[in-house]
Amino acid sequence: MVPDYRGFGKSGGSIRNQRQFLADARLWVEYVSARYPAARTVIYGYSIGTGLAVRMAEEYTPAMLMLEAPYTSIVALARDMAPFLPSSLLLKYRLRSDRVIEEVDTPVIVFHGSEDRLIPPEHGRRLAEIAGDDARFFEIPGADHDEVPDTATYRSLLAGFLAELHERE
């Protein structure tokens, strides 16, 4: 299941605050859980969705959490992008993955492009460090923010992790 949150992708509407953002994510996780109760679920987040994925993994404990191009927090990312702005006062949501990920009780896989100009790879590396021993970080050489899935390295690693998950059943 790959949702578009309100105001993202092909979905209409808009998100006014973090509470709404998280409520949308919970609806999707509960929708999948109700329809596939026996399935080994992987929660996957990309870019802005990684903050939601981390929170949902902490609340629902999937078989695995996969993050692609994650940030430690929206506040930290805004500080990196525009250090001269009072970002903590201007943001609708903060999505502090750095404060939640250590509570995630499942394997965590983090992918980040080495040339990501939107979210620096240091964010992904830091999240993997905070997550602890059950987390793995993979920096994909030469990939920008949206190029990671196009690489043979990513596809090979992803296939391996999904096979590993399948073998645990």
Give the model confidence (pLDDT) of 117-162 as tens digits.
Answer: 999 999 999 999 999 999 999 999 999 999 999 999 999 999 999 8
Looking at residue 8, the DSSP 8-state letter turns out to be S
For residue 139, the number of C-alpha atoms closer than 13 Å in the C-beta half-sphere is 14
In a domain, 26, yes or no: no
Residue with tokens 């929170």: 55
Q: What are phi and psi of 104, to 5 degrees?
A: -75, 125
Q: Which residues of 34-61 are buried (b: 16+ CB within 10 A; e: fewer)?
A: eeeeeeebbbbbbbbbbbbbbbbbbbbe
In a domain, 1, yes or no: no
pLDDT greater than 90 at residue 101: yes
Q: Are 54 and 45 spatial neighbours (Cβ–Cβ below 8 Å)? A: yes
From residue 18, give the alpha-carbon distance in Å to each of 11, 21, 135, 147.
17, 5, 26, 28
> The domain that contains 47 carries what CATH number?
3.40.50.1820
Six-digit token pair at 50? 């990684």
In a domain, 10, yes or no: no
In a domain, 27, yes or no: no
CA–chain centroid gap for 31, Å, is 19
pLDDT greater than 60 at residue 88: no
- pLDDT digit string (tens) for 11-55? 888 887 888 888 888 998 999 988 887 678 899 999 988 999 999
In a domain, 93, yes or no: yes
Reported confidence tier of residue 1, pLDDT bands at 50, 70, 90: confident
Q: Are 16 and 47 spatial neighbours (Cβ–Cβ below 8 Å)? A: no
Residue with tokens 């993050």: 67
| Nearest one of 116, 120, 106 to 161, comparing CA atoms | 106
Six-digit token pair at 6? 């309100």
Q: What is the domain range of residue 107?
A: 39-167
Q: Are 127 and 110 spatial neighbours (Cβ–Cβ below 8 Å)? A: yes
In a domain, 124, yes or no: yes
In a domain, 28, yes or no: no
Structural domains of the chain, count: 1
In a domain, 90, yes or no: yes
